[in-house]
A and B are shown apart, each in its own frame.
Chain A
Amino acid sequence: MKENMLPAIKVTAVAIFLFSILYPLLLLGIAYFGPNNGKGKIIEYKGRKYYKSIGQSFTGNKYFWSRPSAVNYNANGSGGSNKGPSNKVYLAEIQARIDSFLVHNPGIDKSAIPVDLVTASGSGLDPHISVQAANVQVKRIARIRRFKESVLNKLIEKHTEKPLWGLFGPKKINVLELNIALDNL
């Protein structure tokens, strides 16, 4: 055992130097040249700073709503609902979200509500909604903000992000950017 102890301790020391000291320092150096010096992409608006990729809660009627979140968009404790697909409490929750959506959005047919608008994301911090989720809210926002629907439709089109190389993932909209643009109209 003793003749094994020394090399094992030495090899661990080498690893600590390589991976806990040299490696993070090198990356800090690289991060200095990265977006926002490695502190995450930022959107600045009216003197406030927002993280572009961290979703925010939008529940007011004058904004495009973001997706439901199991952790209420708490960026210090990400999490999903972890509810199973047959869980009765979960199914009742979805039903309640659908009902609430219909109350706030009169004149919308139930079949137009996309599933992402009534289900919680994995991280609870999803910054995006689907294009359909934005479209289905146009009527409500147009009424409250007294805009023409066509103006909002154009805004949505402008903020729709296409899939990478036309291949990976669905079309999506960053809710924060869309709502900032909405405030700027």
Chain B
Amino acid sequence: MMIDAVGSLLLFFIVVILSWPLGKYMSKVYKDDLSGDGLLTKAERKIFRLMKVNPSSTMNIRQYLLAFATVNMIWLLYGFGILLVQGQSLLNPAGNPSMEWTLALHSVISFITSTNQQHYSGETGATYLSQISVFTLLQFVSAAASLSVGVAVIRCLKRTGQQLGNFYVDFIRSCTRILFPLAILAATFFIFRGMPMTFNSPETVVSLQGDTSVVATGPVAAMIPIKELGSNGGGYFGTNNAHPFENPDSISFVIHYIIVLLLPMAFIFFIGYFLENRKFANMILGVMTLGLVLITIPIVWQETNGNPLVSKMGIDTSSGNMEGKEIRFGSYYTSFYSGENAVVPAGTITSMLDSYMPLSGIPMLIGMQVDGFFGGLGTGLINIFYYLIVAAFLGCQMIGRTPVLLGRKIGLPEMQLATGVAVLQLLVPLALTAIACFVINETPGGNATLGWLGNSGAHGFTTMFYEYVSATAGNGSGFEALGDNTAFWNLSTSIAMFSGRFVPIAGVLIIAFLLSKKKSAETSDGVLKTETATFGLFLFMVIILLNALSTLPVFALGPLQEYFQMSH
């Protein structure tokens, strides 16, 4: 345990050390501060000329939102179209079929929203063509879009009168300067660990014992780096990072851990350099790290202790709860990784979360709901921004001042938008879970007819709630015993993913735009200081309060009930 703790601390510090200079570099990229970056600059200029976009131009809020909506609509139509006809023979050596329309719609929404919830299995439900030209592509572009929005928000906070910038310019730069090179680098590491990168058809292997099995393969190493770097999380194979081809050994595990957290953390350093307010960024970094630690610890504690009902049978359970986990990572690092992916909505898994202990489910659900303890690339900042507004408002009320954030007065419209969006984010999964429960109850024969839940009772309830929270938060992991490839689940989670992505993004852009129009208030002694540890702690409390109040009753129905039943 001691040695494991040292290893996990080391992993975390590697991420800090790598993301720091990366954040500095990002600040240069988005300030357009790079001089003499030969080849890339030339390529960029060509792209901008081709698109007839002036790289130093800027958009107003209406233009920005329209551009964002249009480009997403095009991605949706493009992906939807290909998934419907993927069953033809181009780059489809395994002969997998086309998708049914609700599944295709769910899959494409899932990937443009950077959620990557998958109701298909990569081995039999996708083709090489769709993996590369739909899923991998959408992982890149959705990540670049989130990053651009995040940058636009920060730009608005920089100076008064500063504008959002140009969506297309930020988008292209995110692709060429950040995601593309990092993905190539990570993929190279992965390929040399034995991850397949091939367009050959799957081979049939006869095992040593004489069993015959087809071994699914493909351009795996193209998809895996960006699924982590872009906080996407959709795996090439059905079992994501638990699959030996996606995660062959401990070295690949270490790389996975690093690149999931790398860009979300680098973004915080970026804020510090870009706003020239390192203290403010450090405060946010502190709050997020605290959240990550407090969410990871209970999961690790529960999983390494093992399942008491299995221990009762008299076997040796000292290696923890190993159901759904792989030997090469062990229960400690598997659950350590799950903690990271609950707070960062990559939501990749090295194990089957459905088989986790009930009390592990609570921190995972909280981590996803907050979605701002680091959170996704760009989207983490978006979520924490809502909490910042609420916390600054409450804090200023407490000391009897007009609410101010980073020198800008928070007015009524900003406050209404911020609370509205924050509440909606909590409400959507609750309402959808209620509807799902209602459908089960009203169907004659209930779950036996529908075949939704592989585990009954309290665990089954958690399964459904988890699915919707994960969809809304853009996380994409799930309790996989859910029979989720049905029209009901495909469409209802599509609604959750759609609102969970586009409502907060539109809201945050509007708030940031409104704030950017305001005059900077004078900083004096009486003003609430948002750079201090005190405010950080206060912000943390606000986050916990908002989320705990809304979901405590649900925990009582799901994971807590299962826990008490088990220990009874």
Residues of A within 8 A of B (CB): 1, 4-5, 7-12, 14-16, 18-20, 23-24, 26-28, 30-31, 34-41, 45, 48-60, 63, 67, 73-87, 90-91, 94-95, 98, 110-116, 118-130, 132, 163-164, 166-170, 172, 176, 179-180, 183
A-B contact sample (9 more), CB < 8 A, given A19-B140, A81-B355, A122-B350: A16-B133, A38-B191, A39-B198, A41-B248, A75-B214, A90-B323, A113-B316, A115-B316, A127-B244
Q: How far is the CA of A63 from the CA of B423 in the complex (A)?
A: 58
CB of B380 to closest CB in A, whole Å: 23
* Chain A residues within an 8 Å CB radius of B208: 45, 48, 50, 56, 58, 63, 176, 179-180, 183
Scan B171-196; emit 1 where CB is below 8 A from any A CB, else 0.
11001100010011001100110111
Given contacts A80-B480, A82-B352, whether A67 and B66 have CB atoms under 8 Å apart is no
Q: How far is the CA of A46 from the CA of B53 in the complex (A)?
A: 62
Instruction: Evaluate contact between A39 and B250: CB separation under 8 angstroms.
Output: no
Instruction: Evaluate contact between B313 and A98: CB separation under 8 angstroms.
Output: yes
Instruction: Evaluate contact between A114 and B221: CB separation under 8 angstroms.
Output: no
Interface stretch, picked from B21-29, B234-242, B273-281, B382-390, is B234-242
Q: How far is the CA of A9 from the CA of B356 in the complex (A)?
A: 44
B136 within 8 A of A: yes
Q: List 29 A-B contacts (CB under 8 A).
A: A8-B73, A12-B141, A19-B175, A30-B187, A38-B196, A38-B197, A45-B208, A51-B205, A75-B214, A76-B94, A76-B214, A77-B124, A81-B352, A82-B454, A84-B354, A87-B459, A98-B313, A113-B316, A115-B310, A115-B317, A122-B352, A123-B237, A123-B242, A123-B243, A123-B244, A125-B244, A169-B328, A169-B333, A172-B327
* Contact for B313 among A56, A82, A95, CB less than 8 A: A95
Chain B, Cβ-Cβ closest to A88:
B456
* Chain A residues within an 8 Å CB radius of B322: 115-116, 119, 121
* Contact for A20 among B121, B137, B211, B565, CB less than 8 A: B137
Instruction: Evaluate contact between B326 and A123: CB separation under 8 angstroms.
Output: yes
B488 within 8 A of A: no
B123 within 8 A of A: yes
Instruction: Evaluate contact between A121 and B7: CB separation under 8 angstroms.
Output: no
Q: How far is the CA of A121 from the CA of B247 in the complex (A)?
A: 14
Instruction: Evaluate contact between A35 and B237: CB separation under 8 angstroms.
Output: no
CB of B567 to closest CB in A, whole Å: 10
B330 within 8 A of A: yes
* Chain A residues within an 8 Å CB radius of B132: 20, 24
B202 within 8 A of A: yes
B75 within 8 A of A: yes
CB of B111 to closest CB in A, whole Å: 13
* Chain A residues within an 8 Å CB radius of B215: 40, 51, 54, 75-76
* Chain A residues within an 8 Å CB radius of B200: 39
Q: How far is the CA of A59 from the CA of B459 in the complex (A)?
A: 32
In this complex, how many residues of chain B approach chain A with their Cβ under 8 Å: the count is: 121
* Contact for B209 among A56, A80, A167, CB less than 8 A: A56
Given contacts A35-B194, A82-B481, A168-B253, whether A75 and B213 have CB atoms under 8 Å apart is yes
Q: How far is the CA of A53 from the CA of B124 in the complex (A)?
A: 20
CB of B51 to closest CB in A, whole Å: 5
Chain B, Cβ-Cβ closest to A126:
B326
Instruction: Evaluate contact between B205 and A14: CB separation under 8 angstroms.
Output: no
Instruction: Evaluate contact between A112 and B316: CB separation under 8 angstroms.
Output: yes
Instruction: Evaluate contact between A73 and B328: CB separation under 8 angstroms.
Output: no
* Chain B residues within an 8 Å CB radius of A45: 208
* Contact for A78 among B78, B199, B211, B239, CB less than 8 A: B239
Scan B479-510; emit 1 where CB is below 8 A from any A CB, else 0.
11100000000000000000000000000000
B10 within 8 A of A: yes
B321 within 8 A of A: yes
Instruction: Evaluate contact between B327 and A67: CB separation under 8 angstroms.
Output: yes
CB of A84 to closest CB in B, whole Å: 4
Instruction: Evaluate contact between A18 and B328: CB separation under 8 angstroms.
Output: no
Q: How far is the CA of A34 from the CA of B75 in the complex (A)?
A: 33
Q: How far is the CA of A143 from the CA of B508 in the complex (A)?
A: 70
* Chain B residues within an 8 Å CB radius of A39: 196, 198, 200, 217
Scan B490-532; emit 1 where CB is below 8 A from any A CB, else 0.
0000000000000000000000000000000000000000000
Instruction: Evaluate contact between A80 and B217: CB separation under 8 angstroms.
Output: no
